Structure 1
Amino acid sequence: MSRIWTEGFMQVLEDIIIIGGGIIGTSIAYFLQSSDNFDGSVLVIETEAVSQGSSWGGFHQQFSIPENIQMAQFAQEFLGELNRFLSVEDKIVNVDYHSNEYLFLVENQDIPMLYSTNILHHQHGISVGLLDPEDLSQGFPWLNITDLAGGSLGLSREGGLNAERLRKAFRQKAISLGVRFQNGELIDIAKNNDLANAITLSTGQSIYFKTLVNAAGADSSRIASLAGINLPMESRKRQIFSFSCRMLLEKSPIVVDPTGVHFRHDGNLFYAGCVPPKDKDPNCSDTKIDYDLFEEYIWPILSYRVPAFQKITMEKARSEHYTYNVLDQSPVLGPHPEINNFYFANGFMGRSAQASPAIGRAIAELIIFGEYRSLNLSRFSFERMVTGEALFEHNALQ
């Protein structure tokens, strides 16, 4: 950080400003400041209300895009040495990680995709088993397999953790390394030719910078528009409903139905969610729970797939917002093609926790070296937002 004079006033010049204090923004801050090749200032503007709850972040490797597989693999490597990376003053970092396999169920029309992704999985060394209907019936006798043609079951290195704990661990470590965090509402981004050079907060404060990173989650589209950039991201509400069931489902993995309805078992409760039908999935910011979605859509699918769920007791529900890329529901990464000191790390849907280690490392490498060095994620570049070249992930819980 240095100080400059503009129009008779002394202004702060930051090396890097990151907009967004969620798990992606804090990871980028950590990887920048922990690099031996970076010797600058990092300021994170926390524009959004960050959840203080125990939001669950799922970790699986059964993706159809190779880069998503590789990011998931790095996430597992990072978790395996989490205390070496994120411990502050030798305090143990506990993100409450639990191993649990994912079971993706498919119908007949999905068999070609099942086989092709399975080949991809084995090419990347992922331990995944293909199951036919008989395997499903024997392994999960509580499952209704009438209309199923098979499934894909992760055999290792899958599960979930407390995403809020991981975000706090990134944040605390980043602060210990010298990253500064500041609350603020961004209202303007100033540009000079092909560079962005200053932000203005609602308080009237202006901050100059060398590099700007948009990691603002559901607010990312508005942030981009302040620089005259169209970023087709929307805020989509996702709801998780928890319920109890008298019957114990033995060997219950995280089950993903062909419809996109999914559920997991944790303690005495089950947690279920879905990709809502298009007519029930507007761009919105409200947090109101839509119990009709469960009663009219999720529960009929659950009770068909698992007959034991015909008798359940609703316990509670919560909602959160995902950043939804209207083009293809895949993330947008890297610099803008015209404003090349304005970087993007947006559109991770419900995969922010799992993606955060790889994305933090990747954006840090782009800023420091001008290129990806560990994992080439150029397929997710901003250019496809201009060309309209979609990149669909078939195994994403959107």
Structure 2
Amino acid sequence: MRRVVIIGGGAIGSAIAYFLNADPKEKAFDVTVVERDFSYTQASSALSASSIRQQFSTAINIEMSLYGISFFRTLGQTLRVGDNVPDIGLVEPGYLYLASPAGVEVLRENHAMQRAHAVDVALMTPDELQARFPWMSTEGVALASLGLSGEGWYDGYSLLQAFRKKAVSQGTRYVQAHATGLQRNGAAVTGVQIDSGATLPADIVVNAAGAWAAKVAAWAGIDLPVHGRRRSVFSFSCPDKLPGCPLVIDTSGIWLRPEGRKFICGFAPPATRDLDDQPLEVEHEVFERFIWPALAARVPAFEAIRMTGAWAGYYEMNVFDHNAILGLHPACDNLYFANGFSGHGLQQCPAAGRGVAELVRFGGYRSLDLSALSFARILENRPLFEKNVI
């Protein structure tokens, strides 16, 4: 039985652990997951806004998230452990992209790609938008794109725990420790060193270390273009209800969505301030200075909002092209990568977990071909650009 050590026990690492031994007829791997913090205090899986969409601009991201939504819809039975049936609270009110006149062409191009992959999405004029969402101002909006099904949000922490508990039920061991290095024998990794001083022997190692993945890659002499990029999320209340409110991506770049009786929102900082590996401190001043005015301009009822909380988490940002990096690097025979999801990791963890497990088991993809996300594109300077990065 081959020994697999996965560095990182978040949603990606736990999904890979699950899929490696998902076939009940064959327990093919002895799996150990090294996770530095079982409370997941800084884990992106726990701090994410936990949403899923198909409104991407690249076929591979659309296909991964189409599989993701189908997996989420049946997750209760798939990841059931005895009488424990997990529930991630999935709802599907859709994503709504608002485009200014300058963004219309890109929105139409993306729409054509999405429809070619059977995504349930519709373009809407400002008048149609106003009729459907009368609480919204259409000022500055030239065109909108609304996901009619298969898009929404869920509880990311519950998703992580569902994968983890199912993997444990299959025999996976979780070790709370800091990985500190890799033991090498030529082009192969033979073990993972941890902070207790022990070395976990391995035939296969998977780097699923999230925002800290570049450090793991460096132990093997590999340059991984992935860094933690801080994102602040703000929670607020509003006296008015917004019937049918989807997840809205405004022309300003701000996103918002309902969260129970409240709302949450966030934005991507400008490139000059979006620095690598900043401390997880909330940018409170941005809410008052930029976010609230933009929210109120789009939804007049938001003039009366009250901020009720905030937190910060990391995107594990692939600074090369904002897409995942999956599979082997030619410098190492048995170190697999599952990194750089750039904010899409939770929604793509079912497809990524299944895909990496297939690579490990069979040496190639058997279901969805994820080879477009291999390390080769980086080494050959062939970026796969995703236009719809939030």
Q: What range is the shorter-chain TM-score in?
A: over 0.9
The number of residue pairs the alignment matches comes to 385
CA displacement, residues 169-189 of structure 1 (integer Å, 9 cap, x when unaligned)? 111111111111111112221
> Which one of the candidate residues 322, 347, 352 is aligned to 1:354?
347
Query: Is the 8 Å Cα contact of residues 16 and 210 (structure 1) preserved in structure 2?
Result: yes
Query: Which amino acid is 1:50 matched to?
Result: Y
The answer on whether the counterparts of 1:231 and 1:385 sit within 8 Å (CA) in structure 2 is no
User: Partner of 2:32 in structure 1?
Assistant: 43
Cα deviations by residue, 1:328-362 (Å, 9 ceiling, x for unpaired): 11111111122121110011232222111111100
**Alignment correspondent of 1:133:** 126
* Contact persistence 1:238–1:321 (CA under 8 A): yes
Read off the aligned partner of 2:3 and give its amino acid letter.
D
1: CA distance between counterparts of 2:380 and 2:192? Answer: 28
- Indicate the RMSD between aligned Cα atoms, in angstroms: 1.7
Q: Is 1:146 equivalent to 2:139 in the alignment?
A: yes
1:262-341 equivalence runs, <5 A: 262-341=255-334
Residue among 13, 16, 28 paired with 1:25: 13
Secondary structure at the counterpart of residue 284 of structure 1: coil
Aligned residues with identical type, % of pairs: 37
The normalised TM-score by structure 2 is 0.94
Give the Cα–Cα distance (whole angstroms) in 2 for the partners of residues 391 and 28 of structure 1.
23
Give the structure with higher Rg (CA): 1
2: CA distance, partners of 1:277 / 1:320: 17
CA distance, structure 2, for counterparts of residue 101 and residue 42 of structure 1 = 37
Deviation per residue, 1:19-68 (Å, 9 max, x gap): 00000000000000113565221111113562486754101111111111
Q: Does the residue aligned with 1:237 lie in a helix, a strand or coil?
A: strand
- Distance verdict in 2 for CA 1:46–1:193, change over 3 Å: same
Distance 1:342 1:68 in 2: 24
| Contact 1:237–1:281 under 8 Å retained in 2 | yes
Determine the C-alpha separation between the residues in 2 that align with 1:311 and 1:62. 31
| Aligned-partner Cα distance in 2 for 1:40–1:23 | 19
CA positional deviation for 1:285: 4.4
Give the whole-Å Cα distance in 1 for the aligned partners of 2:125 and 2:71.
33
Which of 110, 122, 128 pairs up with 1:117? Answer: 110
How many angstroms apart in 2 are the aligned matches of 1:62 and 1:37? 37
Residue equivalent to 2:254: 261
Paired residues of 1:57 and 1:351 also in contact (CA < 8 A):
no
Q: 2:115 and 2:301 mapped to 1: Cα distance?
A: 34
Residues in 2 aligned to 1:215 and 1:30: alpha-carbon distance in whole angstroms: 14
Structure 1 runs not aligned, ≥5 long: 2-13
Alpha-carbon distance between aligned partners in 2 of 1:171 and 1:367, rounded to the nearest angstrom? 19
| 2:372 counterpart letter in structure 1 | R
Which one of 219, 228, 234 corresponds to residue 212 of structure 2? 219
Equivalent of 1:91 in 80, 84, 92: 84
Tell me, yes or no, if structure 1 residue 155 matches structure 2 residue 148: yes
Does 2:223 align with 1:230?
Answer: yes
Q: CA shift at 1:363, angstroms?
A: 0.2
CA distance in 2, matches of 1:307, 1:270: 15
